[in-house]
Structure 1
């Protein structure tokens, strides 16, 4: 097929990249690179400065040295649409097209850096195993990053066949729905296929990234969606339900029912990266309550007229939710403060203010005892 056929808006649903998400908007974004003789393609795998790119001519191996290798937020990642050289040894990725969405977490190092896990994702599927006790706090953390990325989160409760009865499964789903307002929660079983038809319908509408801890059943779920055993699967440990890293790289694969799937390695650490709006989305009920507090800067600790504390006293808001909200807000502020001098100064002033308030309260208490 000729290169020009990829650029024709009327043919955007019929050319070879359509299964990988190519559309008229991407054709428009790529148009300035056409006169240079470059080829459009989508990155399906990245490995040590090189990447596999699917193009109209098939999958090619390309070097990413031209694309800011020393900036972790600007390196090529799985899911990127790129302009790649038509030939050469090696051939190079010249640039990537502006990202529509990007799933970013903080790195595990002590440096103030973000790490892009996947780009141009429509759905962020958070896989949670029902073989172990639910960790609602970790689910909230994944969802904060998912909302911040610009993708629509979906929580998939895997290994539903291990839940003894429908009533118990229903309660587990309700617990997660309370933790994930506005997010679809789908119990599925890759073993017997229960619930998979709903998930297939969701992922067929764009690109999805599969996220979760090792042992969450991501690779098994990916195989079920792909209709064949493409991803390696290993059994989880009986003692704690945890699994090994069967997926070691992020791979993008076209799904037989439409859409594309990015499978990722199990994530032990899920650090926030400038995810204030994502945290607010996860805890939308707390932010709605906070808007009704007497003071606009209410910390929801002991202030009079605090609508959040009133909701906890009335049993409307679980205290666990407020604790988790505070934790993620503090963590996100620390991350942002590492690169934002103004915010660092604001946090320092807030610490001093609270310290002065605590000191004044202690002196007043001592005065009453004297």
Structure 2
């Protein structure tokens, strides 16, 4: 089967980046040391070449991921290998953050690319998860990372058919948690909102869909594809938790145009290299902070703090301020971990250089 790569997002600008004697392909799925790719002459299972292995050993972010454009090189033994990952226009990266045994943050400061070269990030949050409404804190976190990726976030409140009363109020709460972001209610089983989601994917646009297990991501993908491509399961009735039906990330071309990347459910996703993403999500707090009496106001107990005044008046929900503080702390912690890792790597390089210089000096006649 042959493919028109322009329908997968291939452009003349990307063609100019392609190394000599290679052919382009888009990564549809990754495995350990290998990937499923889509090239003009069909789909191929390719192993990583030496250049890719060296780059990823130095930095895990350099590993090929779903959505990447890659250069394939034909080998004498009659197969392709993935020779190089082409520069990414966007990348959704999560930090290596987890909880340690005493409840604190731990991690190595390194990141993992979940999807690359995406135009849109669909943040899927079920309208009702067990006995709780949508997790606004999770929405804020994912939207911040979406802005940071370079893609455009769109929040999809899924399974809207299960929410009997107050859906409009819930959507309003979500819009407060994601200012400036499109928010839509979707029921994939009933088809409500599915055509609207499809409209975002006209032409060769690529979207990744992210959210917790049980949010209905694979069901939405199937609705967009018009065919049950992805296996789905029901949320457990006992605790309202979803099963991890999707166990890998996969790029799926849609019949009506566009591509979507389905992903496994996310229980926790750490920040990575956050710049303006948090500020965009909390633009209301940033606007209030600009009116504080002190330019370096920490919004804790300072006199003339506009943020605390808004909190006391009810203009700013306490939950939102706490969420902002949490993400600010985490972003600062991740930055310190990254700096520490870079300092360690630099020290190791200098030790190696010094050792080589001393050895070469001993070998002189």
The bucket for the TM-score relative to the shorter chain is 0.7 to 0.9
Q: Runs of 5+ in structure 1 lacking a partner?
A: 3-14, 345-370
Number of aligned residues? 326
**CA displacement 1:302-349 (0-9 Å, x = unmatched):** 11111111221222211211111000000110011012259x9xxxxx
The answer on whether the counterparts of 1:46 and 1:77 sit within 8 Å (CA) in structure 2 is: yes
**Equivalence for 2:121:** 124
The answer on whether the counterparts of 1:130 and 1:160 sit within 8 Å (CA) in structure 2 is: yes
The structural deviation recorded for 1:259 is 0.9
The answer on whether the counterparts of 1:276 and 1:329 sit within 8 Å (CA) in structure 2 is: no
**Which is richer in strand?**
2
Q: Distance in 1 between matches of 2:49 and 2:219?
A: 34
The answer on whether the counterparts of 2:46 and 2:81 sit within 8 Å (CA) in structure 1 is: yes
The answer on whether the counterparts of 2:147 and 2:153 sit within 8 Å (CA) in structure 1 is: yes
The answer on whether the counterparts of 1:214 and 1:243 sit within 8 Å (CA) in structure 2 is: yes
Q: Distance in 1 between matches of 2:10 and 2:232?
A: 30
**Equivalence for 2:148:** 148
**Equivalence for 2:40:** 56
Give RMSD over aligned pairs: 2.0
Q: Distance in 1 between matches of 2:291 and 2:16?
A: 45
The structural deviation recorded for 1:89 is 5.3
The worse-fitting range, judged by mean Cα deviation, of 238-247 and 185-194 is 238-247
The answer on whether the counterparts of 1:204 and 1:260 sit within 8 Å (CA) in structure 2 is: no
**CA displacement 1:71-110 (0-9 Å, x = unmatched):** 2111111100010013545531111111000000012563
The structural deviation recorded for 1:240 is 2.6
The answer on whether the counterparts of 1:49 and 1:65 sit within 8 Å (CA) in structure 2 is: no
The answer on whether the counterparts of 2:26 and 2:67 sit within 8 Å (CA) in structure 1 is: yes
Q: Distance in 1 between matches of 2:295 and 2:137?
A: 27
Q: Distance in 2 between matches of 1:298 and 1:240?
A: 42
**Equivalence for 2:15:** 27
Normalized against structure 1, the TM-score is what?
Answer: 0.84
Matches within 5 A, 1:149-188: 149-165=149-165, 168-188=166-186
Q: Distance in 2 between matches of 1:198 and 1:226?
A: 14
Of the three residues 42, 46, 49, the one matched with 2:26 is 42
**CA displacement 1:135-180 (0-9 Å, x = unmatched):** 1111111111111101100111111111114xx1111111101111
Normalized against structure 2, the TM-score is what?
Answer: 0.85
The answer on whether the counterparts of 2:108 and 2:338 sit within 8 Å (CA) in structure 1 is: no
Establish whether residue 99 from structure 1 lines up as the match of residue 88 from structure 2. Answer: yes
**Equivalence for 2:192:** 194
**Equivalence for 1:114:** 111
Q: Distance in 2 between matches of 1:292 and 1:150?
A: 29
**Equivalence for 1:238:** 237
Q: Runs of 5+ in structure 2 lacking a partner?
A: 99-106, 344-365
Q: Distance in 2 between matches of 1:72 and 1:26?
A: 23
**Equivalence for 2:307:** 308
The answer on whether the counterparts of 1:63 and 1:90 sit within 8 Å (CA) in structure 2 is: no
Q: Distance in 2 between matches of 1:221 and 1:242?
A: 18
Establish whether residue 16 from structure 1 lines up as the match of residue 17 from structure 2. Answer: no
The structural deviation recorded for 1:131 is 3.0
**Equivalence for 1:203:** 201
